[in-house]
Structure 1
Amino acid sequence: MSRAVEPPADDELKRLQIELEHLLGRCLLKLQHYEGLIKAIIADHKISGSVHDLEAIREERAGATARKTLGSLVGDFLGSCVVANEIDTPTEATADSSEVANSFSSWIYTEYSDADFARIQSEMKELVDLRNNLVHHFIDQHSLGTLDGCRSGRDALVAANSRIDEHLKQLKNWAEEFLQVRRILAEFLGSDAATDFIVNGIRPDGTVWWPGAGIVYALRGAARRLAVDGWTSLAAASKWIAEVQPEQIPKRYGCRSWHQVVNEARVFDLRYFEVDGQRVACYRERTKCTANGSLPA
């Protein structure tokens, strides 16, 4: 009965070294896939600005994200894409801002309990450490010129490959959730209700977000064209708006008159002047110093 012949040590060493190269390459390719996916999520999950500039803003965010390391990306991801319990959500623009019209803000995130968030944070830090060890310290940690060193290196890479797969699977799940929300958001943005809210500030329930109302934007436009010494005749403004933006009428916003629009919006001061013996209602943009107080004499 013949005995199995053990392969020469040199041949076994070369075989193990080739196997190590393949395993290490596989790990690094998966890590690059992970980095690419997390960059895409970070670039797209949160955006705000003028509706006319959203694409440029998105490209700028993507460009800034592309230059970051995995450690920085994980830092950006945690607390923004994945959050713990209640977070500080963006607040609506204040009523004295003249730049809220035609603006858009979107923030997609997944919320976890404090305990789960802490676990995810620890696991993602582990992945960063794993990546850094593979890239910078793997050769130092294993004597790849010896059989024992190659075998320990192989075991470490097999374990690393399995751990990276787990992280990649989790990230893909998050990415699918974000994509689903984006699809729902895109469907909403293509609806008449979304157009009415974004352009006119009219919410789906019929209430009005006055700082972003289209009729308020129209009044500002009329003031820029017709103001005299900072004040604009409300009658003249309504006539001008009827010519250039006829769809902007008080009834659309649940108001009976232009006077009611000015009062409901709370972003204008209203004052009456005597002009040729007639009492004329005029308005002007409310300044910060008078927004919460009375009109100065």
Structure 2
Amino acid sequence: MTMLDDEDLQTLQHEVQRLLGRCMLRLQQYERLIKAMVAHHKVSGPFHDLERARAAQIDETARMTLGTLVGDLLGSYVVADEFDLPEKTTASSPENVNWFAMQMSLSLPDAEFTRVESELREMVLLRNNLVHHFIDQHDLWSSDGCRRAKDALVIAYTRIDQHFGQLREWAEGMEKMRQALSEILQSEEFKDVFVNGIAPDGKVNWDASGIANALREAFRALAVDGWAPVAEAGKWVAKLHPEQLPAKYGCQSWRQVVHNASILELRYLEIDGQRTACYREKDSSATH
């Protein structure tokens, strides 16, 4: 009788282990998906350096706990009808930079939002109980305890799977919005306005233009004693940013570009006995 009881207990314990493992795998799928949603539903930063801002956000999200992820998702993507977009992303954007900010959200009626919020909080509690407290809550050294644990794990998996299904629906909707936005961002019209600073009427926002940003990069690479030769900078930009050339902005020369951009200062210096056009970045206070 004892041998049969021991075999029965071991079988039950193995089944509990299998069911617990199934729950953990589903939870990992859930956490991976919610991390992706939190990481990609919004982004802000200088348009020319947007990929770095996106990568930093992904890295930050990867270290979040499920509780933090749920809090972020609720406060930012899943929102109530009365939700107002935060102003901090635009209020903190620097001057003379094409700053891009995007945020997608799923707006729900107040009652629906309250229900979803409760369910997501329940998901966090369920996950924590399974990970940290399951052995304390169930006697896995008795047949009856194992049977109760099995029943609890079946119920837990059903709830996790339901939550995962809902999250997947949200993720699919987000992905459709991202694809639509990507098509807009890749259009030539969008690039002209937000990357190059060229308005549809041809007017150029010089200080936030793509060519001015390229010249600022060139200055940091070539400057000696606080100045960089305009001609050398032009060659540097033409090699590394061939799409950023004076003709694109209606200019005849690199000197004309530097002259038009108020964030850059043009000065003629004597270098190796020759009068040479040079430039530098102005202090931000000097442009006002």
Give the TM-score range, shorter chain.
0.5 to 0.7
Match of 1:100 in 2: 97
State the superposition RMSD in angstroms. Answer: 3.4
Judged with a 3 Å threshold, the aligned counterparts in structure 2 of structure 1 residues 56 and 154 are, in CA distance, closer, same or farther, namely same
Residue 214 (structure 1) aligned with residue 205 (structure 2): yes
2:86 & 2:188 partners in 1: Cα distance? 24
Q: 2:184 aligns with which of 182, 188, 202?
A: 188
2:90 & 2:135 partners in 1: Cα distance? 54
Match of 2:257 in 1: none
2:39 & 2:48 partners in 1: Cα distance? 18
Unmatched tracts of structure 1, length 5 or more = 225-243, 250-266, 268-284, 291-297
Larger Rg: 1
1:10 & 1:117 partners in 2: Cα distance? 49
Match of 1:239 in 2: none
Aligned AA (2:79): V
2:173 & 2:48 partners in 1: Cα distance? 27
Q: State the secondary structure of the residue aligned to 1:27.
A: helix
1:60 & 1:83 partners in 2: Cα distance? 24
Q: 1:158 aligns with which of 154, 159, 176?
A: 154
Judged with a 3 Å threshold, the aligned counterparts in structure 2 of structure 1 residues 183 and 117 are, in CA distance, closer, same or farther, namely same
Unmatched tracts of structure 2, length 5 or more = 217-244, 251-261, 263-282
Q: 1:38 aligns with which of 34, 40, 45?
A: 34
2:208 & 2:55 partners in 1: Cα distance? 28
2:181 & 2:24 partners in 1: Cα distance? 35
1:28 & 1:43 partners in 2: Cα distance? 22
* TM-score, structure 2 normalization: 0.68
1:172 & 1:28 partners in 2: Cα distance? 17
- CA contact 1:189–1:195 (8 Å) conserved in 2: yes
Cα displacement (A) at 1:247: 4.4
1:286 & 1:12 partners in 2: Cα distance? 77
- Aligned pair count? 225
Cα displacement (A) at 1:152: 0.6
* TM-score, structure 1 normalization: 0.66
Match of 1:83 in 2: 79
